[in-house]
């Protein structure tokens, strides 16, 4: 069971999503230092979801869905802001850092927290785990899951800050920036539309 959870989490990590594009974007534009800060922010938020899912926050979200809607809507608005900044810089066609008023670390936290559905993912992963009989193993599992997240996004930071990746990015700046802005925009609109449907239903 322990190994199975780690494998599921690994494949969940490698699927490209807003976290991946945020960290890789910082690596390409600001370098490895900023990307690592963003990756630590993502990892911290992920660890919060892991711990809260174990504590039963998924049950609270079921009872009070407006809390999930409020949190995810806030995150979606931030993703729209990021999308706008990236799109604006892409139109200028210049290779420069994304100027936002939020640090890379905080950007990582907010981007990951924008999707509270992660808690249901972890809740389903832990559903078959016996918390009462395996407390020590559970603590180790939490630690390893967090470590796995940190290692993965740190590797993404290092990879996308390499000179050959930066050259590829410089040669395709507009295309990559437009794609990143589009992905952030689509993900944000998906969250907001899902929240709107939840309210109207």
Encode pLDDT of 115-172 as tens digits.
766 666 666 556 555 555 566 777 787 888 889 889 999 999 998 888 887 777 667 7
What pLDDT, on the 0 to 100 scale, is given for residue 10?
A: 75
The span from the CA of 176 to the CA of 179, in Å, is 5
Grade residue 31 by pLDDT with cuts at 50, 70 and 90: confident
H-type helices in the chain, by residue range? 2-14, 18-30, 32-55, 57-63, 65-92, 104-113, 117-125, 135-160, 163-171, 173-200
Q: How far apart are CA 114 and CA 137, in angstroms?
A: 29
- pLDDT, residue 40, reads 95
**95-98: long-range contacts at Cβ-Cβ below 8 A with a sequence spacing of 24 or more?**
95/29, 95/169, 95/170, 95/173, 96/29, 97/29, 97/30, 98/25, 98/26, 98/29, 98/30
pLDDT for position 39: 94
In this predicted structure, what is the pLDDT of residue 97? 46
pLDDT mean over 185-196: 83
């Amino acid at each position: 069971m322990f190994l199975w959870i780690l494998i599921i989490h690994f494949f969940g990590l490698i699927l490209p999503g807003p976290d991946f594009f945020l960290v890789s974007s910082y690596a390409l534009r600001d370098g490895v230092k900023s990307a690592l800060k963003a990756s630590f922010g993502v990892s911290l938020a992920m660890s919060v979801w892991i711990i809260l899912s174990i504590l039963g926050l998924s049950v609270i979200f079921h009872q009070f869905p407006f809390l999930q809607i409020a949190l995810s809507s806030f995150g979606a608005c931030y993703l729209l802001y990021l999308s706008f900044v990236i799109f604006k810089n892409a139109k200028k066609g210049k290779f420069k850092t994304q100027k936002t008023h939020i640090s890379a670390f905080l950007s990582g936290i907010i981007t990951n927290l924008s999707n509270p559905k992660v808690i249901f993912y972890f809740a389903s992963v832990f559903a078959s785990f016996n918390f009462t009989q395996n407390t020590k193993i559970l603590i180790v599992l939490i630690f390893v899951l967090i470590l796995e997240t940190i290692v993965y996004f740190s590797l993404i930071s290092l990879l996308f800050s390499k000179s050959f990746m930066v050259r590829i990015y410089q040669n395709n700046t507009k295309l990559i920036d437009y794609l990143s802005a589009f992905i952030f925009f689509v993900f944000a609109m998906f969250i907001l539309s899902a929240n709107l449907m939840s309210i109207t239903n």
